Amino acid sequence: MRVVISPYRICPIGAHSDHQGGPTLGMAVSAHTVLTFAPDATSTIRLTSDNFPGEVIIDLERLTSVDEHAGPADWSRYVAAAALVLRDRLPESPVGIRGHVRGTLPGGGLSSSASVLLAYLSALADVNDIVLSPEDKVDLALRAEREFVGIKVGILDPAAIVGGRRGQLLSIDSRAARWEGIPLGDNAPEFHILIAASGVTRNLAGTDYNRRVGECFAACRKLTSLAGLDDIAGLHDLDDAVFEQWGDRLPTPERRRARHFFTERARVRRGIELWKQGDVAGFGELMNASCQSSIDNWEAGSPELIELQRTLTEKPEVYGSRFSGAGFGGCIVALVSDFAAVAKNLPGRVFRVESDDGVRVL
């Protein structure tokens, strides 16, 4: 028996920047998908789970699509998606896996989907002696989610889950598909990472995620044409000055999405500087501003989530907080000076996590 530990991730600043090619900040945390597995010589994947019903059974030699196999659709699609993106690299008679998967926290907002995909990819690669570089893992997880799960996600989740390092913040350059660990400055005060779950978990496929991404690209095309530019792949290719000059010509939803992008890009850049200086309080203020932009400009956040973040903002022991992830449900991530004081009387479930290393097979 072997075990894959595939962490969840938080994104303290840099929401909805990745799909536009922009910079974002991630951190792998000590809440994980844990996949216990053994090789299966019959080329079959058989998996059960603590968190999901039924058994997933996939014949690797017959698999052609995410929908054609036995198993409850909700979670078997992710297993099939991981197998499909790896298909070209598998040997002629691939080795399957038998195993059990569980998540150590409720996933919503912590990217449990990229976490499970990377767990399945890592186990399949392991039993088939396929060596995957960190870049391969990120690329395969991204393709699995985009091509087979159908969400136009960016690189944030897999990059944070693969590239995370204990004690560091990960600065991710989405356009270049590169990431770099940023150590916290020496003078930083002690802080803890608090996750407050709203109890509302939503699969991104059932949200406005793809529509919002589409509005960003529409804003990008219009700004590009208004400014007489061409060859622009995403909002990140435009200077702030283009938005300042032409932004008010955009329809309201597109103007808001673009405003979120350009202000968030500035917060990420400033956040990296503050982190290096150990200025956790300044970094926390940027998290609060980032969340406000998610509410006003991205128009994300359920009433429960907005209320929970407001409650956190008012507590003196909270440096900063924001929606974790896409912001359509899920949880809040907060940096706090005193965990017990903040956790007391918060509605819903509260967890304490630490930064962690990226996905690994033990």
Interaction site with ligand GLA (CB under 6 A): 11, 15-16, 18-19, 111, 153-154, 156-157, 325-326
Q: Please, what is the minimum distance in Å from the beta carbon of residue 311 to ligand GLA?
A: 23
Minimum CB distance to ligand GLA smaller for 17 or for 43: 17
Q: Which residues contact 303 (CB under 8 A, 6 or more apart)?
A: none
Q: Which residues contact 311 (CB under 8 A, 6 or more apart)?
A: 346, 347
Residue 157 bears catalytic tag: yes
| CA contacts within 13 A on the Cβ side of 66 | 17
Q: Please, what is the minimum distance in Å from the beta carbon of residue 178 to ligand GLA?
A: 16
- Tell me how far apart the alpha carbons of residues 355 and 79 are, in angstroms, rounded to a whole number: 26
Q: Which of 18, 59, 126, 157 is catalytic?
A: 157
Enter the tokens of residue 150: 């159908």
The continuous run of DSSP H or E covering 334 comes out as: strand 331-336
Minimum CB distance to ligand GLA smaller for 113 or for 337: 113
For residue 148, how far is the Cα from the chain centroid? 17
- Tell me how far apart the alpha carbons of residues 96 and 116 are, in angstroms, rounded to a whole number: 17
- Block residue for tokens 């690669």: 125
Residue 58 DSSP SS3: strand
Minimum CB distance to ligand GLA smaller for 25 or for 194: 25
Minimum CB distance to ligand GLA smaller for 86 or for 172: 172
Enter the tokens of residue 231: 């060859």
Q: Please, what is the minimum distance in Å from the beta carbon of residue 230 to ligand GLA?
A: 26
Q: Please, what is the minimum distance in Å from the beta carbon of residue 15 to ligand GLA?
A: 4
Q: Please, what is the minimum distance in Å from the beta carbon of residue 21 to ligand GLA?
A: 12
Side chain identity at residue 61, one-letter code? E
Using alpha carbons, list the distances in angstroms from residue 35 to 39, 113, 125, 162, 254.
Answer: 13, 14, 13, 16, 41
Backbone angles phi, psi at 101, to 5 degrees: -125, 140
Q: Please, what is the minimum distance in Å from the beta carbon of residue 326 to ligand GLA?
A: 4
Minimum CB distance to ligand GLA smaller for 54 or for 150: 150
Minimum CB distance to ligand GLA smaller for 54 or for 214: 214
Using alpha carbons, list the distances in angstroms from residue 40 to 69, 175, 361.
Answer: 17, 38, 17
Number of helices and strands in the chain (H, E):
10, 12
Angle at 182 between CA 23 and CA 306, to 5 degrees: 55
Catalytic residues: 157
